[in-house]
Amino acid sequence: MAQNQPVERFEVSLNTPAGQCTSPLNVPTGLVPVTALVPSLRRLGEQAQALEERRTVDAGAAISCRKGCAACCRMLVPISAPEAFALRDSIQALPESRRATILQRVTEARTRLEQAGLLARLIDLAETERQLLDDEFEATNRDYYALRLPCPFLENEACSIYEDRPAACRELLVTTPAELCQDLARNPVRPLPVAVRMSTALALWWSELVGGPARLIPLPLALEWADRHAAEGNRTWPGPQLLDKALDKVWRLLSEAFAHQPGTPTGKLPQGPT
């Protein structure tokens, strides 16, 4: 949240297939970058997801995910541009020794991706000016997962940036036994339905603000991408205008979710923005 700025309080209600949630959001009235709203929007997504969790538990299923169960932290995690800028800010704010440790792991991950012949493909993915479709990610997702490369923000099988973790990470919960997650490519893992993928909403939001595709940025490359695009990340808009545009994307995704009701989850793991 922008410091020393007057704020306006909004009561935001979301009607989801699992119920309604209402959240108060304090939004700066002045000019702010997109990062000023990222934490609030991710919390809103978590509240919507909590309704789905409750509905699932009430139906007799159980959420398998627990701290220390980090099999999904070997997947290719796509994050939106606003989240990349927010992550860069969070890492820059860490004490120097802590920041150096994380940046070293990021460098090591980048080296391993280069050795595996994946780095150029991931950079192209992050920088493309063309809107990609889900099918175009399948080969890269598969090859990345085959490496079983731990997320550079993983420490002792736990997320070291838990409060700042990407929306895509927050949205992936499963109800199948945890041992099935040891091979997400072959085992019948059942993810929890997600009515509104805030990761997708944030990507669509950024696309409208600056033009270009709803961009996917592979998490291991997020910090360097944010550095390359720092000028874009420093752009500002009136806070209420940013919120209005972001909620438009959220409500659009919810409308699509209702349009597909009734239905059953496909069982697919999360894909990128479309």
Number of Cβ within a 10 Å radius of residue 246: 28
Q: What is the pLDDT of residue 264?
A: 37
Is this model's pTM higher than 0.75 or not? yes
pLDDT of residue 236: 98
The conformational region for residue 212 under phi > 0 = left, psi -120 to 50 = alpha, else beta, is left
Q: Are 109 and 220 in contact (CB under 8 A)?
A: yes
Report the SS3 class of residue 129. Answer: coil
16 close to 45: Cβ distance less than 8 angstroms: no
Question: What pLDDT, on a 0 to 100 scale, did the predictor assign at position 4?
Answer: 73
What is the per-residue pLDDT for 12?
A: 94
- Enumerate the domain spans of the chain: 7-259
Q: What pLDDT score does 2 carry?
A: 52
Question: For tokens 């091979």, what's the residue?
Answer: 183
Radius of gyration of the chain (CA): 18
Give how far the C-alpha of residue 213 lies from the chain's centroid of Cα atoms, to the nearest Å. 16
| pLDDT beneath 50, residues of the chain | 1, 263-274
Residue 25: CB partners within 8 Å, gap ≥ 6? Answer: 9, 10, 11, 12, 40, 44, 243
119 contacts 113 by C-beta, under 8 angstroms: yes
